[in-house]
Amino acid sequence: MSRSARLLLLLQALRGRRRPVTAAQLADEMEVSERTIYRDLAELISQGAPIEGAAGVGYILRPGLFLPPLMLSEDETEAVLLGLRYVDQRGDNVLIKAAAGALAKIGSVLPPEVQTALAIPFVMPGPPGRGFPTNKVPLAQLRAAIRSQTRLAIVYGDEKKQRSERVVWPVVLGFMDSARVLGAWCELRLDFRTFRTDRILSAREGERFPGRRADLLRRFRAHLNTSEGSVAPDRI
């Protein structure tokens, strides 16, 4: 077995555990020496793997992004870079900064033969968005409510400048070519709706909404499919 294959196998072995595992256990499973396991663990940690632990105590893989060279093929690298460039064109300031950071991290671990994809890409996103209207409620606040599964009491103005007050369960943010939208369950409509973020005039956080966001997102996607692939921004 090549070392790169062994490193991948070791990483997979760590991913499958919720409790620390000793080097002796890993060595027995992989049929190598403990010395080899210690050396391989050091290599994975040097490449950015969030591994914690110590000899005699055990090791555990903490949550975190880990993309060593052995994890990405050339096509996979192109796919990731294309996605990051799309975010750079259409994301908000938080995501643009995050994309730049991710690009720097990925670039630092790409093997030399793939580095050219950074400077001379084979694929590019389409033209940049046509500019986005200003949001009165920061997208960071909406994103935080999505993560914490918090109800939002919003004041929303439709395209005719008519206002309504809603209580929504935020599910996801959508980044379109010329607008950003919040996908949410609306307590007023008793259904899923999308709200242009630039028309959300105010938002006040409330209590946590029930259930799991993953289930709500699955239902939202099903709603999109039954609505011929799109949901128009809500109107009065």
Give domain status of residue 152, yes or no.
Answer: yes
pLDDT, tens digit (0-9, with 9 covering 90-100), for 190-232:
999 999 999 999 999 999 999 888 899 999 999 888 865 444 4
How many CA atoms lie within 13 Å of 193's alpha carbon, on the beta-carbon side? 19
67-71, 105-109, 180-184: the lowest-pLDDT one? 67-71
Does 140 have pLDDT greater than 60? yes
Give domain status of residue 194, yes or no.
Answer: yes
pLDDT, tens digit (0-9, with 9 covering 90-100), for 89-98:
888 889 999 8
Q: What is the mean pLDDT of residues 149-161?
A: 92
pLDDT at position 88: 87
Residues 178 and 210 in one domain: yes
Does 152 have pLDDT greater than 90? yes
Give domain status of residue 127, yes or no.
Answer: no
Give domain status of residue 233, yes or no.
Answer: no
pLDDT, tens digit (0-9, with 9 covering 90-100), for 28-71:
988 899 999 999 999 888 888 889 888 888 999 887 755 555 56
Per the structure, the count of domains in the chain is 3
Give domain status of residue 41, yes or no.
Answer: yes
Q: Which structural domain, as residue segments, surrounds residue 18?
A: 3-61
Q: What is the mean pLDDT of residues 135-151?
A: 94
pTM of the model: 0.64
Tell me how far apart the alpha carbons of residues 220 and 208 are, in angstroms, rounded to a whole number.
18
pLDDT at position 228: 54
Tell me, what amino acid is at 46? S
Q: What is the mean pLDDT of residues 103-126?
A: 75
For residue 92, the surrounding DSSP H or E stretch is none
105 CB neighbour count, 10 Å cutoff: 13
CATH number of residue 45's parent domain: 1.10.10.10
pLDDT at position 156: 96
Residues 92 and 155 in one domain: no
Give domain status of residue 191, yes or no.
Answer: yes
How many CA atoms lie within 13 Å of 169's alpha carbon, on the beta-carbon side? 22
Give domain status of residue 235, yes or no.
Answer: no
Tell me, what amino acid is at 50? P
Tell me how far apart the alpha carbons of residues 180 and 40 are, in angstroms, rounded to a whole number.
45
pLDDT band at 7 (very low <50, low <70, confident <90, very high): confident
pLDDT at position 235: 43
Q: What is the mean pLDDT of residues 139-157?
A: 95
Instruction: Label residues 173-198 b or e (16+ Cβ within 10 Å = b).
Output: bebeeebbbbbbbbeeeeebbbbbbb
